[in-house]
A = this chain, B = another copy of it.
Amino acid sequence: MICLINKTEIDVRYQETDQMGVVYHANYLVWFEIGRTKFIEQLGFKYAELEKENVVSPVTDLQISYKRPARYGDKVYIETSLKLYDGLRTIYAYKIFNEENKLLVEGNSTHVVVKKDKFRPVRLKQINSEWDLAYRKVLNGEM
């Protein structure tokens, strides 16, 4: 039922490679971050605006499987979707493909919203009720 998927194209940066001749494994987490930023923008919100409310949204759990390496000179495509949202936790799912549509990497990340000073969790609804509503709609297949 969940159908909203954001597709974002990324050019592999030389800086993202390591001496294995492929993209360094931690850099896919940066691409995940770009994917969820664009997913959020597609819904009409901006993560940068959220932080102006004195909250941040750290990762609490992350899982990633590496199937094929991305290389410098490649374009890659990241597909981001919402897997779970319960008001406190948000789980995004990611798939990264190359130009031949071969799956390179898949994974997911769990996030909470916390006060910037003490890292104490708050409900997204208290910070931005429209965003909360949008995520509920996405999960119900209404967006």
Q: For the complex, is A132 an interface residue (Cβ under 8 Å from B)?
A: no
Q: For the complex, is A1 an interface residue (Cβ under 8 Å from B)?
A: no
- Check A60/B69 contact, CB under 8 A, given A18-B15, A18-B18, A19-B19: no
Q: How many residues of A contact B (CB 8 A)?
A: 40
Among residues 1 to 48 in chain A, which have CB atoms less than 8 Å away from a CB atom of chain B?
A: 11, 13-15, 17-22, 24-27, 29-30, 33-34, 37, 46-48
Q: For the complex, is A141 an interface residue (Cβ under 8 Å from B)?
A: no
Which residues does chain B contribute within 8 Å of A62, judged by CB atoms?
25, 62-64, 66
Question: Is the CB–CB distance between A26 and B19 below 8 Å?
Answer: no
Q: Which of B37, B66, B116 contacts A21 (CB 8 A)?
A: B116
